[in-house]
Structures are given as C-alpha cells and as structure tokens.
Chains A and B, each alone.
Chain A
Amino acid sequence: DAGVIQSPRHEVTEMGQEVTLRCKPISGHNSLFWYRQTMMRGLELLIYFNNNVPIDDSGMPEDRFSAKMPNASFSTLKIQPSEPRDSAVYFCATAGGTGELFFGEGSRLTVL
C-alpha cells in the first residue's frame, strides 16, 4: 500500500483565497483524522471521521474551516477565506482499528 497520500505538499496563497487540502487514506482504514501542526500549538486534532462520518469536529478553529469525506478513499479540508494565522503543516492520518495512526507527509500551507 502506498500509505496516506496528501496533496499538495506545499501551498502558498494570499490572504482571502480558498485553500483545499486533499487526503487519500490507506485502503481499509475506517478512521481518518486531520491534524494541524504549528510551533506555538504543537499537534492539534481538527476533525475525526469514522466510516466517512464526522464524529468530532470540536477542534475546527472556526467556520472558515470545513472538512468532508464523501467516500472511503478521499477527504478534503477546506479553508475559506484563508488568513495568515492559518499557516501551518496540515496532516491527514488514518487508523484501521489497532490504535496506530498512519500519517501522510503533510501539506505545508503558507498564507501571505
């Protein structure tokens, strides 16, 4: 298996623009997590899906953030409009029921 695949790896955009981050989970994994990592806050859980259903989105910072999982093989995290404070590395991770998380390589977002 190719592992968790995230795109884009790097995104530079201007304040106010829409940003869409994508994740392809490992086949068969029924849990998917979106994390944000910054120096100030460390690793923050944004949202968690189980069997494509959002279970806990209490970590989503505000309404500008939204996440979807239309099927078992694809998820998106969208920021609209983006702000400089959204600059971070965003990770997608999946789990198959053993408790272990498998992380993608992350999407580094810079909002100017």
Chain B
Amino acid sequence: AQSVTQPDIHITVSEGASLELRCNYSYGATPYLFWYVQSPGQGLQLLLKYFSGDTLVQGIKGFEAEFKRSQSSFNLRKPSVHWSDAAEYFCAVGAEGGSYIPTFGRGTSLIVHP
C-alpha cells in the first residue's frame, strides 16, 4: 500500500528565508507525486505535480520540488518565503491506473515570521 510521511508538523521561517518541506513516500512502482497547499478556511490547491520526466518540477507561487527515487523523497522548496506563504502544505502520492486514489500526508504547517 502507498503511504506518505511528512516528518515536520510545524516549520517556522523568517520572511525572505529559504524553505524546504520534506516528504517521503512508500510505493512499489513509479508514483505520481503532488504538493498541495491549504490556506485557512479553504480547500486544498495544487502547487505542483510529478508524473515522469524531469525530476525537478516547477509549480505555482515560486515553489519547486525534486523527485529523488533513491531516497523516496519529493521535497518542496522555495528560495525566498513571503508572509502569504503561511499555510498548511500536504504531500500526496498516487498511482497510475483507473482506480486512482491519492494518499495524503498529515501535512506541515508553515509559520512565517516578519
């Protein structure tokens, strides 16, 4: 069965600092990988996704993530964090095929200090 681990429950950074949110997955084949962001009172919104090809993927709002098969990781990065990036971030893994059901991690709460 597929699973996702986000080791950090909370991350605190200063505005302008770089950010890396960790995600490790467990899946037997090549996974589909996603990062979603949830602002307070809102649903989840897709930041970026990896299906195949280039292992460094670019997303919206200046985020990027790198797929590392050897480490079973898909960490999310941003070079300079803005106060508006404060939100909950979810990593998800999915499977190819007709019965696609994504599995979400528990989320990492990002706190941004001015």
Residues of A within 8 A of B (CB): 4, 31, 33, 42-43, 45, 48, 50, 55-56, 91, 93, 95, 99-106
Contacts and interface: CB of A to CB of B under 8 A. Distances in A.
Contacts of A4: 43
A92 to B, nearest CB: 9
Interface string B34-47: 10100001111110
A99 B94 contact: yes
B43 A106 contact: yes
Contacts of A31: 100
A101 B49 contact: no
A4 B92 CA distance: 20
Contacts, number: 50
Given A42-B105, A106-B43, 10 more contacts: A4-B43, A43-B90, A45-B101, A56-B101, A91-B44, A99-B100, A99-B102, A101-B92, A103-B43, A106-B42
Given A56-B101, A99-B49, A42 B43 contact: no
B44 A48 contact: no
Interface size class of B (residues with CB under 8 A): 20 to 34
Which residue, B43, B49, B92, has most C-beta atoms of chain A within 10 A?
B43
Interface string B50-91: 010000000000000000000000000000000000000010
A105 to B, nearest CB: 5
Nearest to A108: B41
Contact of B43 (A50, A55, A56, A93): A93
A42 B94 contact: no
Q: Which 10 residue pairs of A and B lie closest in terms of their CB atoms, listed nearest first?
A: A103-B43, A42-B106, A103-B44, A43-B104, A99-B32, A105-B43, A100-B46, A99-B94, A104-B43, A106-B43
Contact of A42 (B36, B46, B104): B104
Contacts of B44: 43, 91, 93, 101, 103
